[in-house]
Amino acid sequence: MLSLQGVAKRYPNGLDALAGIDLAVEPGAIVAVVGASGCGKSTLLRLIAGLERASAGMLSVAGHPVDGPGEDVGVVFQEPRLMPWLTVEANVRFGLGRLPRAEAARLAAEAIARV
């Protein structure tokens, strides 16, 4: 179960993106998050995915607090984040920074195999 209790998100500039969000989603449920541009949909999804931290409240998945992105969470961003002139492997390796080439290639191959 996904559970949100009193979840809020305030950005450093003082913008309150979310306030007092309570939500319970049973396993297997299908949920759509809809609303006007700028109402906090993406912020809510980033909090649930663990990509951002809530300013207040509690988020949990299967009874475990959400305190960062889990290995079992996948995210498809609204805007493209790939470099179309690179290969799939090169796009994956791009995020691996300054690792030795052989290690980066191994990690990229493992990540690609998972999808």
Within the chain, residue ranges assigned H as helices are 41-49, 88-94, 101-114
Q: Please give the single-letter amino acid code of residue 43.
A: T
Q: Cα(9)–Cα(43) distance, rounded to whole angstroms?
A: 8
Compute the distance between CA of residue 65 and CA of residue 80 in angstroms, rounded to an integer: 29
Averaged pLDDT for residues 84-93: 88
pLDDT tens-place string over residues 59-82: 999 999 998 887 777 777 777 778
Which pLDDT value is given to residue 8? 98
Beta strands 64-65 and 56-61 are: antiparallel
Distance from the Cα of residue 50 to its chain's centroid: 5
What average pLDDT does this structure show over 85-113? 89
What top-level class would CATH report for the domain 2-65?
alpha beta
Give domain limits for the chain: 2-65, 76-115
Q: What is the pLDDT of residues 30-64, one digit of tens each?
A: 999 999 999 999 999 999 999 899 999 999 999 99
